[in-house]
Amino acid sequence: MAHEIAHVTQRHLARRMEDQARKTPLTIAALAGSILLAIAAPEAGIAAITATQAGAIQSSINYTRSNEKEADRVGMNTLIKAGFDPHAMPMFFGRLADEYRYASKPPPMLLTHPLPEDRITDSRARANKYPIKPVPSSLDFHFAKSRIVARYVGINSDAALDWLQRKEKRASAETKPAYLYGKALVYLDTKQLDKAEPLLMELKKQFPNNNFILDALSDFYIESDKGKEAQTMLETALETKPRNPVLTINLANVMIEDEEYDRAVRTLQRFTHDNPKDTNGWHLLSKAYASLATRPMR
């Protein structure tokens, strides 16, 4: 994130456009000269055209690679100012290098980014100027990680469950609940409600106001045809966290599932007014309106 922020603060896109604007007339002139040369000496002209195009492309690659190096350097400063451990940057580049360890590598001059090995060396040299600053991960980070593994990494439920169980065995008492939460999600998604329920109820006792747990419990209550219990739980939570986006979206979803479309519309109208860029809110609002339109007259 610090690296990408640096691209914005250093105006890399604007600077690249300015650089291209300066170089384009030269490239066009060189191509025109090469075409004239091709009239007199076709082979030499074609070679000149190819060289001109290659030179323009290489210049663009070099400029991009230079920007990437600058983003790494400025990003390191952003990390430090934000209170994060600067040594995390070379660690990240190390993981990136591991991903491409066995991939074929073109010559460095043809790459738009510095080699991962070079980025590790450079960032480690800069990080070593600062003391190591361990930043412990929050429990919500581990909840989010388990949620991603359980639902979004593209592996089947058995593989996700195996990963979560192995992590649970080695986890500390502080992080173990996150892996239980991940297992509960897998059980929910595979309709094993009898296995999901005890895990979620135990987590609810430990973390009664945690959004990850309340979100999963909402899904459980919907699957168990207990919409009223879900509404009560979410409305109680919203008393302590008014207008919380996660809780509000879940409440509206439960209302739709319980066919309380009028209430869902009112809730979502307020939500989309406060959060106009939240696509989940607009999607649910359209779903509620569509359900209202097709609801039989009573």
Q: Which tokens go with 89?
A: 């940057």
Lowest-confidence pick of 190-194, 281-285, 292-296: 292-296
* The pLDDT of residue 132: 74
pLDDT at 137 over 90: no
Mean pLDDT, rounded, for 142-170: 93
Tell me what percent of the residues of the chain surpass a pLDDT of 90. Answer: 51
CA 149, CA 162: separation in Å to the nearest integer? 11
Main-chain dihedrals φ then ψ at residue 107, nearest 5 degrees: -55, 140
pLDDT at 297 over 80: no
Mean pLDDT, rounded, for 27-41: 88
Query: Residue 109's pLDDT band (boundaries 50, 70, 90)?
Result: confident
pLDDT at 21 over 80: yes
DSSP the chain: -HHHHHHHHTTHHHHHHHHHHHHHHHHHHHHHHHHHHHHH-HHHHHHHHHHHHHHHHHHHHHHHHHHHHHHHHHHHHHHHHTT--TTHHHHHHHHHHHHTTTS----GGG-SS--HHHHHHHHHHHHTTS-----PPPHHHHHHHHHHHHHTSS--HHHHHHHHHHHHHH--TTTHHHHHHHHHHHHHHTT-HHHHHHHHHHHHHH-TT-HHHHHHHHHHHHHTT-HHHHHHHHHHHHHHSTT-HHHHHHHHHHHHHTT-HHHHHHHHHHHHHH-TT-HHHHHHHHHHHHHHHHSPP-
Query: Contact at 8 Å (CB) between 3 and 72?
Result: yes
Among the options 4, 158, 225, 235, which is catalytic? 4
**Cα separation of the two ends of the chain:** 53
Mean pLDDT, rounded, for 48-52: 88
What's the chain's average pLDDT?
90
72 tagged catalytic: yes
Among the options 68, 72, 215, 260, which is catalytic? 72
CA 116, CA 96: separation in Å to the nearest integer? 7
Q: Which residues, in sequence order, are CB contacts of 126 under 8 Å at separation 6+? A: 73, 76, 86
CA 31, CA 24: separation in Å to the nearest integer? 10
Mean pLDDT, rounded, for 97-102: 77
* The pLDDT of residue 295: 66
CA 68, CA 89: separation in Å to the nearest integer? 14
Residues of the chain with CATH 1.25.40.10: 139-293
For residue 163, what are the CA distances in angstroms to 169, 194, 207, 222? 10, 21, 23, 27
* The pLDDT of residue 175: 93
pLDDT at 251 over 70: yes
pLDDT at 139 over 70: yes
Query: Given the structure tokens 């986006």, which residue do they identify?
Result: 245
pTM above 0.75, yes or no: no
Mean pLDDT, rounded, for 236-250: 95
Main-chain dihedrals φ then ψ at residue 74, nearest 5 degrees: -70, -35
* The pLDDT of residue 231: 96
pLDDT at 298 over 60: no
Mean pLDDT, rounded, for 87-94: 86
Query: Residue 138's pLDDT band (boundaries 50, 70, 90)?
Result: confident
pLDDT at 70 over 70: yes
* The pLDDT of residue 296: 59
Residue 257's nearest CA partner among 218, 296, 292, 222 is 222
Residue 119's nearest CA partner among 98, 95, 90 is 90
Superfamily of domain 139-293: Tetratricopeptide repeat domain (1.25.40.10)
* The pLDDT of residue 108: 75
* The pLDDT of residue 106: 75
Query: Which range has the top average pLDDT, 70-74, 109-113, 203-207?
Result: 203-207
Amino acid at 201: M
* The pLDDT of residue 285: 96
pLDDT at 196 over 80: yes
Query: Contact at 8 Å (CB) between 115 and 123?
Result: no
